[in-house]
Amino acid sequence: MYPSQLLWKKTAARLPLEVPFPTVRGHPGQPSKDRTRMRMSQYFLPTMKENPAEAQIVSHRLMLRAGLVRQTSSGIYAWLPLGFRVLKNIERIVRQEQDASGAQEVLMPTIQSADLWRESGRYDAYGAEMLRIKDRHDREMLYGPTNEEMITVLFRDGVKSYRDLPRNLYHIQWKFRDEVRPRFGVMRAREFMMKDAYSFHSSFESLEQTYRVMYETYSRIFTRLGLQFRAVAADTGAIGGSGSHEFHVLADSGEDALAYCPTSDFAANVELAEALAPTTPRAVPTETMRNVDTPKQTTCEDVAALLGLPLQHTVKLIALMANDKLNIVLLRGDHSLNEVKVGKLESLADFRFAREDEIRAFFNCPPGFLGAVGIDRAQVRVIADRTVASMSDFVMGANIAKFHTAGINWDRDLPEPDVVADVRNVVTGDASPDGKGTLEICRGIEVGHIFQLRTKYSEALKATYLDENGKAQVMEMGCYGIGVSRIVAAAIEQNFDERGISIPAGMAPFQVAIAPIGIKKSEAVRNAAEQLYAELTAAGIEVLLDDRDERPGVMFADLELIGIPHRIVIGDRGLKEGNVEYQGRKDAQAQSVALQDVSKLVQSKL
RNA sequence: CAGCGUGUAGCGCAGCCUGGUAGCGCACUACCUUGGGGUGGUAGGGGUCGGAGGUUCGAAUCCUCUCACGCUGACCA
């Protein structure tokens, strides 16, 4: 017990009724007058001129420089007033749209018990990403990386009848995943803010219906946030289940590659996007097979350049180990391996790349010159990408150091592949899988993901209800996540310039900034600024008044760095004519506006 | 987890090789100056040199261990 508590216990009974403090009146009452003046002279806003050395990407640099966050440990951040305002603005829009979609907000704990996760079988499966902790009684606990188990148990215990389904609950909460390597600031942090919604249903049709509603809700959320985004079909990954879409904020720095078709609705994560088989049949051989000298050429690019051939005539070999058996994957020289697709092939679920010693043991040849001609096919499985299977007269390593083989043809020079499959990443110009055009590739930052989980968790945790016939049925389940804190970084990646942040108004920490020049010296400027500040504030607008006695350059630089969408500059010079200056954060130039009109002008732009 | 790198004032860095007074720029404080794009000046404050141990008369500097942070890779609802 703390001394203060002790003191309270001792004295509570003897406290006089007339305490020397304002009497606290119970509900109902008037809200306190807001003493938080949005004045920069009062604001905790540590901005920096120089870039912190650890920040690699632009959003991380700007978030640190603009005083939005500070790192406290690897992948763990404190949100400072300005950054917290942005976070709350995003949260507000997410919450409004979730509520409007019919979902109900709950708050679940950050700390969960290990037993809960043992029940679903994920305690061991989740691995080192889960932060495991013990309480004073040595009970095993964990800091929640996600809440499927917890919510499923809430439904299992709370819902018994089909009449009580469907329901959709969501919460906005801090989560923790002990990433091997946190990076990019709050983009890939260990602790992060997430909105998760979970829906439960008595039929798949009901799940699909809610899934569609959530898809639309997400589209509305990201639209309201003012972000350029794209929804794509997604791999379901480790979470399991069937139908799934990811929502990506489009940005060149994005970690995910997205394939989309500009002339149709097709859009998918490259991980998932199907590379169609070539439509033209394999050409008849025209060349004879021969070895060529490639003394230093260990890559397809180098070999093609040396031989004066297009890269599309080369084939690369990738050696994979799965269940202690060697698998050879053949890809066209300009293509890259899609590990997700490979993992879906029979008996390749747990594949890894072969080590160099394993490669040398089988091929008797260093990597860089590996080929599939003349190998002992009894010992390996040869998996050819669809494209490779249709090639003829191609070039591949000779299995002799410093040599490649040209003019190779299937059947004639080596047996047909054991497996022909789609194992490559699609590239720009590939035919769209829906047959309605060709694919483009762009990069995105995943900020939302919706899944049809079906019965994966409800089955494991025995979440059942009684149907119309009084028969126990397993609930259908969906889950829908949004990376709230990541959106701050993603929005900045998409909206910045050389002067700083220029995020959309919907999430900006303040809508309007007033920059009075010479506020100490000029009473006219001071009065005009205060009046305008009061006027805009009264209109319900969040205004930041830069009342610091700073030079204009300093004020402008700070306001542009932190990304206030609208700025009003008040100076003696313009005020003599009754004018002030307005400039939008993304405008090239300022415009002169009459002082009495500026409030209206700004409000028309909000 | 592997490989590499960095830890010196709030931020960016020098000093370390060759041991001997802890420095520079920005930021901060006071005053003057300036007043529409990070003004100019004067005077200041601030550092267990990541930590522990060792070598030495003496360690930011040399040695050993350790911790933290970062980069690349693998990993990643």
* Separation between the CA of A571 and the C1’ of B77 (whole angstroms): 53
Question: Measuring CA to CA, which residue among A568, A561, A566 is closest to residue A596?
Answer: A568
Q: Report how far apart the first and last C-alpha atoms of chain A are (Å, whole number).
A: 52
pLDDT of residue A15: 44
Residue A30 has a pLDDT of 65
Nucleotide nearest to A572 (CA to C1'): B36
- Nucleotides, chain B, CB distance < 7 Å: 1-2, 10-13, 25-27, 34-39, 68-77
Tell me: pLDDT of A12 over 50. Answer: no
Answer yes or no: is pLDDT of A449 > 90.
yes
Contact assessment for residue A315 and residue A323, using Cβ atoms and an 8 Å cutoff: no
Q: What is the pLDDT of residue A238?
A: 47
Provide, in whole angstroms, the distance separating residue A570's CA from nucleotide B32's C1'. Answer: 26
Is residue A306 within a helix (H) or strand (E), and if so which, with residue range?
A: helix A300-307
Task: Provide the pLDDT confidence category of residue A7 given band limits of 50, 70 and 90.
Answer: very low
pTM: 0.89
A531-CA/B44-C1' distance, Å = 39
The ipTM, to two decimals, is: 0.92
A290-421 CATH pick, 3.90.960.10, 3.90.420.10, 3.30.70.890, 3.40.50.620: 3.90.960.10
A271/A481: higher pLDDT: A481
Residue-wise pLDDT for A59-116, tens only, equals 999 999 999 999 988 899 999 999 999 999 999 999 999 999 999 999 999 999 999 9
Domain ranges of chain A: 290-421, 512-605
Residue A145 CA and nucleotide B20 C1' are separated, in Å, by 55
Taking the C-alpha atoms of residue A525 and residue A569, their distance in angstroms, rounded to an integer, is: 10
- Determine whether A585 is exposed, middle or buried from the number of CB atoms within 10 Å of its CB (0-12, 13-18, 19+): buried
Asked if A446 and A246 touch (Cβ cutoff 8 Å), the reply is yes
Residue nearest to nucleotide B69 (CA to C1'): A74
Please give the mean pLDDT across all residues of chain A.
89
Assign A382 to helix, strand or coil: strand
In the structure, how far is the CA atom of residue A196 from the C1' atom of nucleotide B60, in angstroms?
A: 50
Topology annotation, domain A512-605: Rossmann fold (3.40.50)
Checking if the pLDDT of A5 tops 50, the result is: no
Q: Stretch A453-482: mean pLDDT, rounded?
A: 95
- Cα-based distances in Å from A6 to A3, A12, A501: 5, 10, 50
- Asked if the domains A290-421 and A512-605 are classified in one and the same CATH topology, the answer is no
Q: Round to whole Å and give the CA distance between A464 and A474.
A: 4
Work out the average pLDDT over A40-62: 90
Q: Which nucleotide is nearest to A580 (CA to C1')?
A: B36
Query: What is chain A's Cα-based Rg?
Result: 31
pLDDT of residue A17: 47
**Could you tell me the distance in Å between the CA of residue A560 and the C1' of nucleotide B27?**
19
